[in-house]
Structure 1
Amino acid sequence: MDNAAVSLPDVVAEQGDLGRVWDQSQSGARRGVRPPSVAVTRYDRVWETVTGLFRGAVGEVASLDDPARVLAFNGGLPQRVMARCGDFQRDALERGVDIVQITSQEGFAQNPAIGCIQWGSGGKARLVEQVPYKLLLFDRRLAVLPLDGWILSNGILLIRDPAVVNALSGVHRSLWQSGNRIDDGFEGPPAHLSGVLKTLLTEPSDEAACQRLGLTGRTYSRRVAELLALLGVASRFQAGAAAARRGWL
């Protein structure tokens, strides 16, 4: 860990007044009147730290997440990282912690590849046109930012200064208020999921559904997961009833 001369990620510093608030925080930290921010760069220490923070959360973990940006960033995520995505949130949900996430439409569509957006599994989520960077807020008291703006495993910045945490919380609240519910505006499933919904109700097996739609088994499974997330249900059995309630059948 290094709490000397840490920098706010460029993608974050460019957003509104955050750069100014950060500079004031760093000045105060040097004078010993503000909590210093800490950079964690070793891969094993990053995951140990993030795991501990999720386990220590008592009320809420709010976040900005965009699986589409994460998957596209510098070649995407290592397989060992993808295998763990979503575990932290699910464990927190089981303990009664609120998971409040903001993502993009494209990010939500690609979420089945990562599984970090927990809408439909008990979490709360809204869609915005663009997510500016990745952010984790633990009980609105501590903020975590990836050092490169997007990938936690590449290093993180821990921020405890209330002024900076409040500023980042303000960004999250503003995007939440302006964002859309995930099912807003859907008079039916997106075109690429319409056929999937029909096969869930009519085909006796995944193999038959894949043959009818001309999809590979992997692609079909991914689209089924996306459809269930969109409907806010946990099983295929529940999908038909949820689709009927929305007038999609």
Structure 2
Amino acid sequence: MLQALGLGPAEEAVYTALLARPTASAQDLARQTGLEKAETTRILLDLATRGLVAVATEAGSGAPDSADCGAGRQPARYRLTPPSVALAPLLVEQRNALHRAETAFSMLTEQYRSTAAHPAGSVVEVVVGVEQVAHRFHQLQRGAQRELLVFLVGAPIAVPREEADVSESSALDRGVDFRVVAAKDYLDGHEVARDVREAMMAGLELRLVDSLPLKMVVSDRERAMVPLDMADSGGEPSAIVVHRSGLLTALVHLFEKEWAQARPLYNTTTGVRAEATADQQPTEGELEVLALLLAGISDRRAASQLGLSIRTVERRTRRLMDLAGADSRLQLGWHAARAGWL
């Protein structure tokens, strides 16, 4: 946690160990963290220089440990400077660094587009080879902040399914809206079915169609990736990365059209092939959210209790209301009681 603010692992260990104590000596903290006393002392002195800790002014306490060599002198004891005061400058510094990085990113992106060797180079980029295709795929999924739109068809080629699952889980944990349209034969196989059930429980929305024209992933409606036929690249996996353009808009429209016509899957308890019916049942994860909402708990508090993002709670609530045909949460509660959901 504190490494994000510029503290190293050993510094964070000492800092968090001191967090649980009013005061402590270097020897106390060395025993607790497993570090050498000399290293612990050095870290404490460095943290003191940075204003994160201070020497406690208790009766009988002396100067810092490096000076504790006289007879009868007690080892120095340290205390934390209030984190709200000491860590605030570090947080501001990190925010400023992130802002500078975002500015540089925008400038480099625009410069790349404006200086591309060919006008099409700023719109479509060709990526060839397993490593390059996999790298770009993970960039798109891990870089998404708001939304991922995915077509799934055929067996994975460049990105193994287990690696795709890791990127998928990361996006769901961040609260990214994740919608998938899959060709119905993609879900053949027990392992795939199990992974899909777990992803749906985490908030992924999945619909089925008989067939799809292509495989693709769209990230935040700003970038998309579409695999190419390997016969056109000497037998190597290849893909095009599409940036903001009329072509990207067309791919998004294609996704929305297929999504609207696809068959929703809601029943992740009995199996991923359970298609939409008049008596659709909510998933276990949705029922957990429903129980907290009917108890009067806010979305934010429900998210905290369930270890979910607030967007995931809102998405599950919206799905429950769609299943119930409800226009309000009061109607949702009435339908839940009538349908025996709880």
Normalised-by-shorter TM-score class: 0.5 to 0.7
- Compared CA separation, residues 131 and 231, structure 1 to 2 (3 A): farther
Q: The residue matched to 1:84 in structure 2 has which SS?
A: helix
Q: Are the aligned partners of 1:61 and 1:97 in contact in 2 as well (CA < 8 Å)?
A: yes
Q: Which moved more, 1:84-93 or 1:43-52?
A: 43-52
2:168 is the counterpart of 1:168: no
CA distance in 2 between counterparts of 1:175 and 1:31 reads: 32
User: How many residues are aligned here?
Assistant: 166
Amino acid at match of 1:70: A
| Distance (whole Å) between structure 1 residues aligned to residue 240 and residue 190 of structure 2 | 24
What amino acid is aligned across from residue 124 of structure 1 in structure 2? E
In the other structure, the counterpart of 1:107 is 186
Pick closer, same or farther for the CA change 1:33–1:44 going to 2, 3 Å.
Answer: closer
Correspondence for 1:88 among 156, 167, 170: 167
Give the letter aligned to residue 165 of structure 2. Answer: G
Q: Which residue of the other structure, out of 256, 260, 275, is the alignment partner of 1:177?
A: 260
State how far apart, in whole Å, the 2-side matches of 1:43 and 1:123 are: 26
Where does structure 1 differ by over 4 angstroms across 4 or more consecutive aligned residues? 224-227
Residue 155 of structure 2 corresponds to 70
1:32 — aligned with what?
119
Alignment counterpart, residue 120 of structure 1, candidates 201, 205, 208: 201
**TM-score when scaled to structure 1?**
0.53
Letter of the structure 1 residue corresponding to residue 141 of structure 2: F
CA 31–178 in structure 1, closer or farther in 2 if over 3 Å, else same: same
Measure the CA separation in 1 of the matches of 2:151 and 2:258. Answer: 9
Deviation sequence 1:63-94 (CA, Å, 0-9, x none):
1113xx216xxxxx58x823313111111010
| Secondary structure of the corresponding residue to residue 171 of structure 1 | helix
Give the residue type in structure 2 aligned to 1:50: F
Q: 1:125 to 1:174 in 2, by over 3 A?
A: same
The whole-number CA distance in structure 2 between the counterparts of 1:107 and 1:54 is 20
Following the alignment from structure 2 to structure 1, what is the Cα–Cα distance between the partners of residues 130 and 147? Answer: 25
d(CA) in 1 for partners of 2:180, 2:216: 10
Correspondences of 1:53-68 after superposition (within 5 Å): 53-66=140-153
**C-alpha deviation, 1:59, in angstroms:** 0.4
Q: What is the identity percentage for the equivalent residue pairs of Structure 1 and Structure 2?
A: 19
TM-score between both structures, scaled by the size of structure 2:
0.40
User: What's the RMSD between the two structures over aligned residues?
Assistant: 4.0
Q: CA deviation at 1:145?
A: 0.5
The code of the aligned residue for 2:207 comes to R
Aligned pair in 2 of structure 1 residues 173, 31: CA closer, same or farther (>3 Å)? same
Matches within 5 A, 1:135-174: 135-148=216-229, 154-174=237-257
Query: Which residue number in structure 1 is paired with residue 295 of structure 2?
Result: none
Equivalent residue letter for 2:216: L
CA distance in 2, matches of 1:170, 1:103: 16
Shift of 1:58: 0.8
5+ residue gaps, structure 2: 1-115, 231-235, 275-280, 289-335
Task: Kindly indicate whether the alpha-carbon contact (under 8 Å) linking 2:265 and 2:272 is maintained by their aligned counterparts in 1.
Answer: no
SS in 1 for 2:256: helix
Instruction: For structure 1, list consecutive stretches of 5 or more residues without a partner in the other structure.
Output: 1-28, 72-76, 198-223, 239-244
Q: Is the 8 A contact 1:121 1:232 kept in 2?
A: no
- Counterpart AA for 2:208: L
Distance in 2 separating the partners of 1:116 and 1:165 = 27
Question: Residues 83 and 126 (structure 1 numbering): CA distance in 2 closer, same or farther, change over 3 Å?
Answer: closer
* Aligned equivalents of 1:85, 1:56: Cα separation in 2: 14
Q: 1:233 to 1:134 in 2, by over 3 A?
A: farther
